[in-house]
Amino acid sequence: MYCESMDYLDQLELEEKDLAISDTSIDPDQSKRWFKRLYPIIKEQKGYFMVTALCGIAGLAIQVSVPMVMREAIDKALTDGTGKITSYVWGLLGMAVCAFALRFTYRFLLFRTAYRIETQLRSLIFKHLTKLSFSFFDRIASGEVISRANSDIRSIQLLLAFGPLAILSIFSFLLAFVFMLSIHVPLTLVTISCMPFVYVLAQKMRDRVFPLSWVTQGRMADFAMVVDENINGSRIVKSFAVEQDQITLLAQMAQRLRWSSTALIDARARFNPLIESLPRLGMAGILMYGGWLSINDEIGIGALIAFSSYVIMISVPFRMLGFVLLQAQRAAASSLRIFEILDEEPSVADKPSAKRIVSPAGNLSFRNVSFSYPNDDNPIVLDDFNLEIAAGEIVALVGRTGCGKSTVARLLPRFYDVTGGSILLDGVDIRDLLLQDLRAHINVIPDEPFLFSDSIRNNIAFGKPDAKEGEIINASKAAQADDFINNLENGYEEVVGERGYTLSGGQRQRIVVARTLLSNPKILVLDDSTSSVDVETESLIHLSLKKLLQNRTTLVIAHRISTINLADRVILMEAGKVKIEGTHEYLLKHSPEYESILSSGLKQEMN
């Protein structure tokens, strides 16, 4: 049994490898209703849906025909008194086998197609997220994004899986209605007399459920955001001993979610039982009026039994109606939340005429650059910032907190676009260059080292997955990371915890340095990248960096004198502008503020 399961899993794995994700997206016309916007993705699966529909209709046609066969068998047996119904029995068995095969096929294909569309939507959202600019992630919480990419897509998948089943059940209702009319028209009208009331209740339920579905989905996202932040920030929570405050906050989010979910269930509980029970009144009508007709020999016993079977069949659509309507409202609300992401346009994007970068020299020029962060109360971070950096030159930016040093580092690879002025690479505005090429040649080592929950080897080779073993080791040695990696239990195969927190800050920093050095960028930005290592380790890293930074344009954001000593030239910034520039010795001699900044940094290191 175990071997059979493994063979089945191997088969699934082969199917997964063959699964290709289409590039088809939603309809960009925001004026259309949600289902029409999803239609281009659904249309790709039209072949599967057509086969599903044919199998489903054929299966239902057989199922609806069964009461008619039973009616004929019963009436014939009672009429001629022979009781010879063997042919009918075999006929019913054959119909059962065919119905099973057809229903299995359409259910299997239906759910498989729904999961394909779900996978397509997940891939589409993730692909779009990779295109969005930093400004988008600055204003939206990660938990909100995760919720939309998971629970909201799941709501759409459920509707696509069960919605067609509801449509097929309506088809069965129509077939049953036609058969009932062929037997006895007045009895049929009595049977369906309650159906108009079902439609009215369904409309009222839809109007009540949609706003509650929207609120519930939003509160699910809020709840997910609190959980996500507490997991990622667990060290902060524990260091301030505020676990109880966070538990209280989570309880409040849970209560808000419980309220909206309860209101949603309350709306469903008020309407669903009525929607499901009204068709059952038709059974009472059949027993009363149909029984009277049978007593007076106007219809046969077989016809009465057939009518009873059809009442059960026509009640199925109404039993499903409540669930499908609820799911449709949830899917509508979820799709709107998903469209909010997919309709978001990246603020930083390639121009149609963007140029390739083949082999840049590395000359950088900041000309009258001004910048302010989107949706920020502080209007100006950089104001008429001018700086020329020659190819291969190492320049250090120094200044007090908030003067704009890190902003310069973020503008260079176009994490954000300048508000005014321009940044040139080898005399070409970086906005006229392909983003992928630009960022391939400009690497930033941030002040907060980030590692993926993967092996150290894969983390180092993240920017160059095809790197050879020797290249990875050489980069690690250059970053002074090889020794501590070899001392780990699994060496380079050691899997670090989430965000690399199983390692010390200095170890994470050295791995990040190794990762950047392996990618061998022409332009390197060190954003206070050795702040988490001790002075001795920093000096070792700097020894290696001095060799590797030769013929490489480097921008160093520094607070330590040891880091500043790497630079050929030092730029002192103040209020988003260049105040003074020169060598370290020149600034010490001519700028009291520079000396004050270095003294403050030295005191912090000593403390």
Whether the Cβ atoms of residue 75 and residue 303 lie closer than 8 Å to each other: yes
Reduced to 3 states (helix: H, G, I; strand: E, B; else coil), residue 353 is: coil
353 within a domain of the structure (yes/no): no
- Going by C-beta distance under 8 Å and a sequence separation of 6 or more, which residues neighbour residue 329? 206, 209, 210, 213
Residue type, 5: S
Which of the four pLDDT bands, split at 50, 70 and 90, describes residue 64? confident
Structural domain harbouring 556: 364-606
| pLDDT, tens digit (0-9, with 9 covering 90-100), for 172-222 | 778 888 887 887 788 777 777 777 777 677 667 767 776 777 677 677 777
Rounded to an integer, the average pLDDT of 84-95 is 80
CATH number of residue 190's parent domain: 1.20.1560.10
- Going by C-beta distance under 8 Å and a sequence separation of 6 or more, which residues neighbour residue 412? 364, 423, 430, 442, 444, 523, 525, 555
- Claim to verify: residue 315 and residue 375 sit in the same structural domain: no
- Claim to verify: residue 475 and residue 540 sit in the same structural domain: yes
335 vs 118: CA distance, rounded Å: 12
pLDDT at 30 over 80: yes
Q: How many structural domains compose the chain?
A: 2
- Claim to verify: residue 338 and residue 380 sit in the same structural domain: no
- Claim to verify: residue 377 and residue 325 sit in the same structural domain: no
Q: How far is residue 155 from each of residues 30, 200, 327, 342, measured CA to CA in Å?
A: 20, 25, 7, 17
| pLDDT, tens digit (0-9, with 9 covering 90-100), for 90-139 | 888 888 888 888 888 888 888 888 888 888 888 888 888 888 888 888 77
- Claim to verify: residue 294 and residue 371 sit in the same structural domain: no
444 vs 399: CA distance, rounded Å: 19
- Claim to verify: residue 325 and residue 371 sit in the same structural domain: no
392 within a domain of the structure (yes/no): yes
- Claim to verify: residue 378 and residue 323 sit in the same structural domain: no
Q: What is the pTM of this model?
A: 0.70
424 vs 418: CA distance, rounded Å: 12
Say if strands 382-389 and 364-371 run parallel, antiparallel, or are unpaired.
antiparallel
pLDDT at 34 over 80: yes
Enter the tokens of residue 287: 């027993």
Q: For residue 476, count CB atoms less than 10 angstroms from its CB and return exposed for 0-12, middle for 13-18, buried for 19 or more.
A: buried
Mean pLDDT, all residues of the chain: 79
Please report how many Cα atoms fall inside a 13 Å half-sphere around the Cα of residue 265, on the Cβ side.
6
23 within a domain of the structure (yes/no): no
| pLDDT, tens digit (0-9, with 9 covering 90-100), for 398-439 | 888 888 888 898 899 998 999 899 999 999 999 999 988 898
Percent of the chain with pLDDT over 70: 82
**CA nearest to 113, candidates 152, 157, 148, 151:** 157
- Claim to verify: residue 478 and residue 586 sit in the same structural domain: yes
Give me the phi and psi of 526, to 5 degrees please: -105, 100
Which of the four pLDDT bands, split at 50, 70 and 90, describes residue 334? confident
11 within a domain of the structure (yes/no): no
Question: Directed axis angle between helix 535-548 and helix 505-519, to 10°?
Answer: 0
**CA nearest to 140, candidates 129, 151, 153, 124:** 129
Domain boundary among 307, 342, 377: 342
| pLDDT, tens digit (0-9, with 9 covering 90-100), for 462-473 | 888 888 888 889
pLDDT at 253 over 50: yes
- Claim to verify: residue 533 and residue 404 sit in the same structural domain: yes
pLDDT at 368 over 90: yes
Please report how many Cα atoms fall inside a 13 Å half-sphere around the Cα of residue 5, on the Cβ side.
2
- Claim to verify: residue 439 and residue 472 sit in the same structural domain: yes
Whether the Cβ atoms of residue 59 and residue 103 lie closer than 8 Å to each other: yes
3 within a domain of the structure (yes/no): no
Q: Which of 127-131, 226-230, 246-250 shows the lowest per-residue confidence on average (mean pLDDT)?
A: 226-230
Report CA torsion sign: 432, 438, 441, 443.
positive
98 within a domain of the structure (yes/no): yes
60 within a domain of the structure (yes/no): yes
Strand order in the sheet with 420-425: 382-389, 364-371, 420-425, 428-429
496 within a domain of the structure (yes/no): yes
- Claim to verify: residue 396 and residue 330 sit in the same structural domain: no
- Claim to verify: residue 389 and residue 316 sit in the same structural domain: no
Whether the Cβ atoms of residue 65 and residue 98 lie closer than 8 Å to each other: no
Residue type, 34: W
CATH number of residue 533's parent domain: 3.40.50.300
Domain boundary among 310, 342, 374: 342
**CA nearest to 168, candidates 324, 348, 326:** 324
Report CA torsion sign: 11, 16, 20, 22.
positive
